[in-house]
Amino acid sequence: MIIAGFGGQGVILAGKLIAHAGMIEGKYVSHIPSYGAEMRGGTANCSVIVSDDEVASPLVGHPTTIIIMNRPSLDKFEKMVIDKGNIFINKSLIDREAGRTDVNAYYIPANDFAEKAGSGRASNMVMVGAFIAATDAVSLDDVKESLSEVVSKRNIKFNDINKKALDMGYEVVIRQNARHEV
């Protein structure tokens, strides 16, 4: 998978959480961050692999899933997703739908839910929760457990908000799937 957005949106943290949860579950994982020169406000993305088999190469050329936090990232990465893959779009910030009909597109108002959870900065957690609900790649409980290991010491105080945001993202996809709207 690829997770992409602006620096400061928690893209790298989201990837680390998913990879760490995969490790807890005894899976093979890879996490490669990529930052733009500007850091906060610049581009950021990461490639994450969680697999039952050994990871032969950490490079992700044709992801099964992308989590997209902003419009420039959707424009850049949408074409890379495999047929019948998953695209998670932060519809709070992205003003267009996926241009492909051969993928499963999930439109998540991540920033809106993050504000309701207690901090707009938790939009990455909303998207991770949505990803877990749709794919079962890792468990929600293992991602929550990973928060204490992956989140920096200075930000650990926000983990209750992070957990609430994870739950909100998870629940919106479960509800949408139950109504067949996704």
Domains within the chain, CATH numbers bracketed: 2-178 (3.40.920.10)
pLDDT (tens, 9 = 90+) of the chain, 182 residues, equals 999 999 889 999 999 999 999 999 999 999 999 987 655 567 899 999 999 999 988 889 899 999 999 999 999 999 999 999 999 999 999 999 999 999 999 999 999 999 999 999 999 999 999 999 999 999 999 999 999 999 999 999 999 999 999 999 999 999 877 544 44
Task: Tally the residues of the chain.
Answer: 182
* Helices of type H across 98-158: 110-117, 123-135, 140-150
Q: Do 2 and 77 touch, CB atoms closer than 8 A?
A: yes
User: What is the pTM for the complete model shown?
Assistant: 0.93
